[in-house]
Amino acid sequence: MPIQSVNPSTEETLWSYPELSPEEVQTKIAKSHEAFLLWKNLSYAERAKYLFAVAKELRDNARAYAEIETKEMGMPITASIASVEKSAWNCEYFAEKSEEFLKPHPIATDASTSYVRFDPLGTILFVMPWNFPYWQVFRQAAPTLMAGNTVLLKHASNVPESALACERAFRAAGVPDGVFQTLLVGASAIDGVLSDGRVKGVSLTGSVAAGRSVASIAGREIKTSVMELGGSDPFIVLADADIEAAAKGAALGRLINCGQSCIASKRFIIVESVYVQFVQAFKKEMEQYVVGDAINEATQVGPMVSEKARAELHGLVEQSIAMGAQVLLGGKPKEGKGYFYEPTILVDVTEDMPVFVEETFGPVAPVLKAKDTADAIRMANNTRFGLGASIWSTDTDRAQELAKEINAGMVFINNITKSDPRLPFGGINEGGYGREVSEFGIKEFMNIKTVWIK
């Protein structure tokens, strides 16, 4: 079955490739393992030289890389260019910081000398999603490679050209053959790859269902895994919030990448005393966003990735309306070519409605009224997910105390949730486990080894 992409702005079929045969996959695994045996012995400075070259390749050709991403999954071109440049920054950051993060850590014991050292594991399988085809990959690849591991990428099947472009960036930078390879295979091939003894771990970003499946394989094979899964991030506006700033943040947090982000703001929980004021300001902000073909510079909100995704989102909206939610803005697919959905605000939402319970992966904002701060925190924690959260308040000391009460891997105060190579990224509960990036994330695929000397 071919692996192909469709432009969600135009519904035009773009690139199509045959799936790799099992024999071709085995060849790539063997090459990855052979590359690891050499790559792990390079100094940090030598590996950093290659990562800096990857960053330069991305920066020098940002527009060309971005156009592939935009055409395949509908991210507005300006955002795609920014994602390429952020990927370059990530490579530079870990090229600069990895040796410091992974230096031996001395610990005083009854030994003459004792310390902890960090050694690479081997080949790591990446199972990556379509919504940020470059950033998701480079976010994990830079620390994983700087740590001395090699990478096999199984990207989402609807972004094959972006997947191949990732590999081309490493090749153009002169990275040794086999260190980073793309596997054009379907989901059914994951079990065989992860079961191979030469593959030592897996990092997955995707749905909870995908995470359960891949984590179960990793568990069966006793292999390290990192899971970045679903999110239904609460956006909490307290009585003392700067309402204008909160409304701007809410619109950006909901509409970034057409709402197709794990850490997009998805449940808007507003304290009763400022509810009306916030809703009016929020509607005004959402109305200003320009929806259109993602390749156009003026577009701020592109299409959803597929007709299937749009239909699933609209189903959640219709079910919630049937249960009593009211449409303040939008509420339906846009007519014409492309998988566009109107920026949408639903009010009179209750905690049993699908738009509250499920992960709304699209430009739909359910707004709920909380009695007070305590009720807002209770609502925020009423979810099976636990990726990120956003609190808006002018009393930042109080907000930091409330951050302790939020069940999530990340809490941002007076800003939307963001990924940053300097900070650990990941969730709890069905938001996933393990951490990406930062000095914490780089150690996920390492042998944390004790050395004791008398």
Q: What is the dihedral of CA 438, 442, 444, 448, to 10 degrees?
A: -120
Q: For residue 56, with 0-12 CB atoms within 10 Å meaning exposed, 13-18 middle and 19 or more buried, which class applies? A: middle
Given 262, 358, 430, 436, which residue is catalytic?
262
What are 247's two structure tokens?
């409304």
Instruction: Exactly one of 72, 85, 228, 359 is catalytic; name it.
Output: 228
Clarify whether 258 is annotated catalytic: no
**Of 273, 284, 272, nearest in space to 247 by CA:** 284
Q: Is 99 a catalytic residue?
A: no
Cβ distance 279 to 378 under 8 Å? no
Q: 377 — phi, psi (to 5°)?
A: -65, -40
Q: What is the DSSP string of 376-420?
A: HHHHHT-SS--SEEEEE-S-HHHHHHHHTTS-SSEEEESS-----
∠ at Cα 268 (354, 283), nearest 5°? Answer: 105
Query: Would you say 237 and 268 are in contact if contact means Cβ atoms under 8 Å apart?
Result: yes
Residues 431/389, Cβ–Cβ less than 8 Å: no
Residues 370, 88: Cα–Cα separation, whole Å: 41
Cα separation, 400 vs 195, whole angstroms: 43
Where helices occur in 196-242 by DSSP H, the ranges are 208-221
Nearest to 266 by CA among 362, 409, 376: 362
Residues forming beta bridges with residue 119, ordered by sequence position: 447
Cα–Cα distance between 159 and 189 in angstroms, integer? 17
Burial bucket for residue 247 (CB in 10 Å: 0-12, 13-18, 19+): buried
Longest dimension (CA), the chain: 75
Question: Quick check: 231 and 387 in contact, CB under 8 A?
Answer: yes
From the number of C-beta atoms within 10 Å of its C-beta (0-12, 13-18, 19+), residue 30 rates as middle
426: left (phi over 0), alpha (psi -120 to 50) or beta: left
Q: If DSSP codes are grouped into helix, strand and coil, which group holds residue 77?
A: helix
* Catalytic residue ranges: 228, 262
